[in-house]
């Protein structure tokens, strides 16, 4: 759900306030799998300065001043929310960070309804390893490079291929369906059988849809909200995702929903060949 555009939106909002901030305190309201050793997690963070907030694929990376980093994955329902001093803990809240930047205090809450997300403290070498296993950032390379990444002899469908973070980073269920509709390619097609023209068109549409969604602060299909609790504006611009039975915006044909790669998959039988 939070995919590249949504995670990038959160990154920008976090970076704006957390860059150069110092972590004063960390209160774990409810611990979980994401920080197995709670005391170590809290103690290791106190007093550390955040050098930058970066993103790789759907992973948020807070680089600290001691060659360590906090990685955060929102998965489906993870949220960072800026709150004020008087904020009261709500049901799914898990951690509160108190930070300081230029004598101004910052209160940040990590919440996660489904508890799939995680925060992890790791060192530089482990971070380098994780980052190196992702495919290229789709907005940092040319469409030609992306098209080349999709040129593979595999039995998999193009949709399953797009969801593989090792091939191209950051695409999830929504943007896989949306980019395939824009490119006029059926999700079920075998990746090995796509023509050069199709792969190039798909690569360009991946870049277009991701950039357009970032410009709208992402799409809130279900649970996603940004650090102010705001929904993304791209939802109404989606062409197929979540529109089963509704008319295709291009040709009026009813959008079909099937299951592919274990994911709800949406396409227009007329526009997509």
Partner DNA sequence: AGTGCGACCTGATCGC
Partner DNA sequence: TGCGATCAGGTCGCAC
Catalytic residue among 11, 48, 55, 58: 58
Using a 10 angstrom Cβ sphere, with 0-12 exposed, 13-18 middle and 19 or more buried, the burial of residue 219 is buried
48 is catalytic: no
Sites for DNA among residues 8-37 (CB under 7 A): 33
Q: How many CB atoms lie within 10 A of CB 227?
A: 21
Among 24, 76, 98, 122, binds DNA (CB under 7 A): 76
State the Rg of the chain over Cα: 20
* 32 Cβ neighbours under 8 A, 6+ residues apart: 94, 115
90 is catalytic: no
User: Looking at the chain, how many residues does it have?
Assistant: 273
91 is catalytic: no
* 12 Cβ neighbours under 8 A, 6+ residues apart: none
CB of 258 to DNA, least distance (A): 10
Among 113, 145, 196, 251, binds DNA (CB under 7 A): 113
Among 9, 13, 71, 173, binds DNA (CB under 7 A): 173
Sites for DNA among residues 187-226 (CB under 7 A): 221-222
* 78 Cβ neighbours under 8 A, 6+ residues apart: 2, 72, 110, 111, 112, 116, 117, 118
Q: Which residues are catalytic?
A: 2-3, 58, 263
Residues forming contacts to DNA in the complex (CB under 7 A) are 1, 3, 33, 57-59, 73, 75-76, 91-92, 113-116, 154-157, 160, 163, 165, 172-174, 221-222, 241, 257, 259, 261-264
């Amino acid at each position: 759900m939070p995919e590249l555009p949504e995670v990038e939106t959160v990154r920008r909002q976090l970076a704006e306030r957390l860059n150069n901030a110092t972590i004063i305190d960390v209160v774990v309201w409810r611990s979980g799998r994401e920080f197995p050793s709670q005391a170590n997690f809290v103690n290791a963070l106190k007093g550390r300065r955040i050098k930058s907030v970066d993103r790789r694929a759907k992973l948020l990376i807070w680089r600290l001043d001691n060659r360590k980093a906090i990685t955060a994955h929102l998965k489906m329902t993870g949220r960072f929310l800026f709150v004020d001093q008087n904020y009261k803990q709500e049901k799914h809240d898990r951690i509160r960070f108190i930070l300081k930047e230029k004598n101004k205090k910052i209160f940040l809450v990590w919440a996660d309804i489904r508890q799939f997300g995680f925060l992890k403290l790791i060192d530089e070498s482990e971070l380098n390893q994780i980052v190196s296993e992702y495919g290229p950032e789709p907005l940092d390379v040319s469409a030609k490079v992306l098209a080349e990444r999709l040129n593979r002899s595999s039995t998999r469908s193009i949709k399953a291929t797009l969801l593989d973070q090792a091939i191209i980073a950051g695409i999830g269920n929504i943007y896989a369906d949306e980019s395939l509709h824009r490119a006029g390619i059926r999700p079920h097609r075998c990746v090995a059988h796509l023509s050069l023209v199709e792969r190039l068109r798909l690569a360009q549409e991946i870049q277009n849809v991701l950039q357009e969604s970032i410009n709208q602060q992402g799409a809130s299909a279900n649970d996603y909200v940004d650090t102010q609790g705001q929904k993304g504006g791209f939802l109404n611009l989606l062409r197929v995702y979540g529109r089963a039975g509704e008319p295709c915006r291009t040709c009026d044909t009813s959008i079909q929903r099937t299951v592919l790669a274990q994911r709800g998959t949406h396409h227009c039988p007329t526009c997509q060949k």
